[in-house]
Amino acid sequence: MPLHLKCRSPLYPRSTVQRFPVPDDKVAWNTEFIEYKPPTYTSPSIQGQPWADPEIGRANFSPKWNTLDGKVNRESYMGLYNIVNGYPLNPVGRTGICGRGVLGRWGPNHAADPVVTRWKNTAKDIDKKPILQFIAIKRRDTGEWALPGGMVDPGEKVGATAIREFQEEALNSLEASECEKQVMKEKLDNFFSSGIEIYSGYVDDPRNTDNAWMETVAYNFHDESGSIVSSLNLQAGDDAVGVQWVDITSDINLYASHKDIVNRVLIKHTS
């Protein structure tokens, strides 16, 4: 089963709402938990937003679960999820909170994560164990270091999301001139065509609820010689407030379950 810890931490993000405590042995929906009375919370910040679903039960909202619903992908990488009383149920288990919290979609909220890597070691470190580094951003919302990922726009290809979000959060492309964008494109088009899928599935995101959760597809873009990525002008943008190369070590601390994702990349390059 995927990690399911950060989505049970007591205080729900960007709110004062406390989750109903869910012990490890009560996570699974098929384990009886008669006392379970989670609060319902949907943040006012998402209500009425064009990128968010309406409330369930509204006349103008007839979602098609477990499938592509128009341009919105409501399919889960975790297989078929259950619908109970009209509400999709988190496929990993209880989180201690109902509603959508701050997530826009009921059910799966699809994201993509780019893991851009290079070797830290230079020629003089030849006898040392090689260290793999990746480009991390500092999230504005929690202050934690994370992959520069983001939400898949309706109709967007997941691979394109990973590349777009990398450019927005780690290269500040949203504030680049047309000319700068063209230079970026020439430098990176070829590199980004070499992406390898590393993970697809559930993310242990602190925003998850019993009815809405994050899923991602993570891609590794690896620069074996480091020559392409070393010429990047790293600059935090959009919802990132910092960006830097980070060594992938065992004591690394990252947002959500991003440590698990970067470890998969490390294993791929070292085993």
Residue located via tokens 């205080």:
11
CB of 135 to ligand RP5, least distance (A): 13
CB of 51 to ligand RP5, least distance (A): 11
Residue 111 vs 228, nearer CB to ligand RP5? 111
CA distances from 204 to 78, 166, 255 (A): 13, 21, 9
132 binds, among Mg ion, ligand RP5, none (CB under 5 to 8 A by kind): none
Q: Is 167 in the site for ligand RP5 (CB under 6 A)?
A: no
Residue 232 vs 256, nearer CB to ligand RP5? 256
Q: Using CB under 6 A, which of 113, 158, 209, 220 touches ligand RP5?
A: 113
Residue 38 vs 150, nearer CB to ligand RP5? 150
Q: Is 203 in the site for ligand RP5 (CB under 6 A)?
A: yes
C-beta separation of 236 from 173 below 8 A: no
C-beta separation of 88 from 107 below 8 A: yes
CB of 89 to Mg ion, least distance (A): 26
Residues 72-101 that bind ligand RP5 (CB under 6 A): none
Q: Is 147 in the site for ligand RP5 (CB under 6 A)?
A: yes
Rounded to an integer, what distance in angstroms lies between the CA atom of residue 221 and that of residue 212?
29
C-beta separation of 77 from 109 below 8 A: no
Residue 181 CB contacts under 8 Å (≥ 6 apart), including other chains: 173
CB of 147 to Mg ion, least distance (A): 8
CB of 203 to ligand RP5, least distance (A): 4
CB of 243 to Mg ion, least distance (A): 12
Rg (CA), the chain: 20
Residue 75 vs 165, nearer CB to Mg ion? 165
Rounded to an integer, what distance in angstroms lies between the CA atom of residue 66 and that of residue 82?
9
User: Contact residues for Mg ion (CB under 5 A)?
Assistant: 150, 165, 238
Residue type, 120: K
Q: Using CB under 6 A, which of 53, 205, 222, 265 touches ligand RP5?
A: 205
CB of 25 to ligand RP5, least distance (A): 25
Rounded to an integer, what distance in angstroms lies between the CA atom of residue 221 and that of residue 125?
23
Q: Is 198 in the site for ligand RP5 (CB under 6 A)?
A: no
113 binds, among Mg ion, ligand RP5, none (CB under 5 to 8 A by kind): ligand RP5
**Bridge partners for 246 per DSSP:** 134
DSSP letters, 120-131, are ---GGGTTSPP-
DSSP letters, 52-106, are S---TT-TT----TTSEETTEE---TTSPPPEETTEE--SS---S-EEEET-SSS
Footprint on this chain of ligand RP5 (rule: CB under 6 A): 111, 113, 146-147, 149-151, 203, 205, 214, 216, 239, 256
